[in-house]
Structure 1
């Protein structure tokens, strides 16, 4: 079944430039306490059973492997947000024809980077998939401060980490990979 996303924009909506992080930390923390964040994450994979994961620096996924993405900006489509995240985090300019929707999740995280960390936050997470070419796969690298490192993993390796109870794999990762048909 194909996923159809209907993105509606009124004629009088005014697009505007929004900085990467446009709120002072106390205001951002207050927003996390009171609003559900819209996020887009992208599973970058190859046709031969390889999934690219980043070793995260920040909460809620600090010291774990995860996919790439983040908050949507005002005026962005989901594809815009996913493509922007891949450029920002990996230096990867994507072919939008290979960027597709996987699933949507309502995620309630137990921790967050803005104090108080233990307060957690909630996101409406749109998960997308991007199948890399060989050239793209060879070109990816850490391009910002989100990840300490990035590395290709086989689904077998991810399964082994998961079944061994490794703390490197967040319990949600196998779920989103399986639901995306990649696990």
Structure 2
């Protein structure tokens, strides 16, 4: 990712809207720079590809790693939604759920329990449901509050976090399963 960020001068200017380990959301004006630098290909490994076509993102809501909502304007002038919500299927998540999270409210939904493997019973497909709760404060956990320009920088080390000593932090902190944590609804 450093090669891509360097070409668009993203280390020194806020040119990147969202990034994680394998993706970068940038303005379409930077796409030509990446192409000229030989960093773009639809089939080669370690190259960038454009998942959103010739149009561009006209609205983006980036709530947490792997949790993002975009409205894309295609080159044909058509508006399309592009949703990503790790741990939540796209047919179960709505725009209102993103807005609730952005407003500081938790979001929950019912899912089928996952299949289980057992040495004696083989694969067991449960007929039960479980409730997943997505907590709204993940950005507060992973990033400092927005500065005067609205940029949320990451914390430098875990000692900077402002949580009590009982707080447990992991990469999937925004997801809890109701059975494991009944306190989510109190």
**Same fold, judged at TM 0.5 (above):** no
Greater share of helix residues, 1 or 2? 1
TM-score normalised to the size of structure 1?
0.26
Q: Which has the larger radius of gyration?
A: 2
Q: RCO (CA 8 Å, sep 6+): is it higher in 1 or 2?
A: 1
